[in-house]
Amino acid sequence: MARELRRWQAEALAAWEAGGCRGIVGAVTGGGKTVFALACIERRKPETALIVVPTVALLDQWWEETAAHFGWALDEVNILSSRGRLRGGTVNIGVLNTVAKLDVTRSRVGDLMLVVDECHKAASPTFRAVLDVPAAATLGLSATPERPYDDGLAEVLVPALGPVIYQYTYAEALRDGVIVPFELRNLVFELEPERAEEYERLTRKIARVVSKLGSDAPEAVALYLRRARGLNLSQNRVVLTLKLIAAHRGHRTIVFHEDVEACEVIAEVLRANGISSAAYHSKLPMRHRADMLGLFRAGDLSVLVTCRALDEGFNVPEAQLGIIAASTATRRQRIQRLGRVLRPSKTKDQAVVYTLVATGPEIARLKEEEAELEGVADVSWSRA
């Protein structure tokens, strides 16, 4: 059955209706975007709805919530496959890369409403066809409240979905109890000498290539990726992560990394030291990942060590401690990861997130974030 809307959801719904049932809404991770979107569908009552999501994990959650919201059996919601087609008279849900390949313009579905979750991803040339759906009503969603959209907002998303009509920030979510109070502890550590030397060498080489060919040149991109991988594979990151977990033994912890092998190593060392843990990444079978998540939620696992698999789509409010051991430079990824730890639960009234940084650009990004979160989070800096 439909839930009572939170204040922000009711306000955003009113703004969406005032805008002709078109627009983009940004809300913090865990703020209730799914419930909000389903309320929009319920209010608009389109003949057919199409919900586009970025991952299979999110599809599963949307499927379950949609059926529960409308009091339907799961089979009454149409899940789109690569050979499927829109079914009129119901809600259709599909993953972005699947829907982008379907010729939905040929489907006879009458009055259609399009909902695009994590809509920034639909702005890429690969997935842009999703936005060509002939929809009478549109809704874009984003989990990132501060500077939520990359290039492509004005040129692609706004013409297709409508303007940004509402944003729900960390400060508002904290006030409303949607997220718990949190501390951000930024730890600056030293790279191993050989890693530091390689980082500086690649930085100089990148500068030369960018000056000659531009930052988008394949040669420059390859160097950026090589430098990032070397930075993320620092052994000191792994050692410091293990020390932090030991210092917070007993806390339900999520470790975020960028490398599958590093995740496996961390989890193996933790188990060898009597700490119940598991690696969680996309190379594992889906059923195994689901089992690990269930064990973590039940308290049978203390630590989940993830490689991007939890960035979008999973609700793990039981996590009390987050350790961002390695990350990309994207602001969006960091907000997604914070959101995994900041959701309230019966077992916690606050959260702590550590971020391990070693280079000037990493530090500069976190300094910028510190200014944005003034009055919202307690931010501290220390050297490892």
Q: What are phi and psi of 277, to 5 degrees?
A: -150, 165
Same domain, yes or no, for 186 and 263? Answer: yes
Q: Where are the alpha helices (DSSP H) in the chain?
A: 7-18, 33-44, 56-70, 96-99, 158-161, 170-176, 193-213, 218-232, 235-247, 260-272, 286-298, 331-342, 360-372
Residue 331 carries which DSSP code? H
Q: How many domains does the chain contain in total?
A: 2
Task: Name the 3-class secondary structure at 21.
Answer: coil
Residues 36 and 165 in one domain: yes
Asked whether residue 159 falls in the same domain as residue 241, the answer is no
User: In terms of residue numbers, what domain contains 318?
Assistant: 180-191+234-383
Residue 2 domain-assigned? no
Could you tell me the two tokens for 79? 């899940």
Q: Are 69 and 35 in contact (CB under 8 A)?
A: yes
Q: What is the pLDDT along the chain (384 residues), one digit of tens a residue?
A: 557 899 999 999 999 999 999 999 999 877 889 999 999 999 999 999 999 998 877 887 899 899 999 999 999 999 998 877 889 999 999 999 999 888 766 667 789 999 999 898 888 888 888 998 889 999 999 876 344 445 567 788 889 999 999 999 888 999 999 889 999 999 999 999 999 999 999 999 999 999 999 888 899 989 999 999 999 899 999 999 999 999 999 999 999 998 889 999 999 999 999 999 999 887 888 778 878 888 888 889 999 999 875 655 566 778 899 999 988 767 767 877 887 888 888 888 899 999 999 999 999 989 988 888 888 899 999 998
- CA distances to 44, 70, 247 from 18, in Å: 12, 24, 52
- On whether residue 209 sits in a domain, the answer given is no
Asked if the structure places residue 112 within a domain, the reply is yes
Q: What pLDDT, in 10s, does the model give residues 302-313?
A: 999 998 756 555
Quick one: tokens of 379? Answer: 């931010």
Domain assignment present for 146: yes
Chain-centre distance for alpha carbon 355: 17
Q: Is residue 219 part of a domain?
A: no
Q: What is the CA radius of gyration of the chain?
A: 22
Q: Same structural domain for residues 161 and 248?
A: no
Is there a single domain that holds both residue 185 and residue 131? no
Asked if 11 and 45 sit in the same domain, the reply is yes
CATH number at residue 121: 3.40.50.300
What does pTM read for this prediction? 0.79
The conformation of residue 348, written as its DSSP 8-state character, comes to B
Residue 226 inside a domain? The answer is no
Tokens of 96: 């972005």
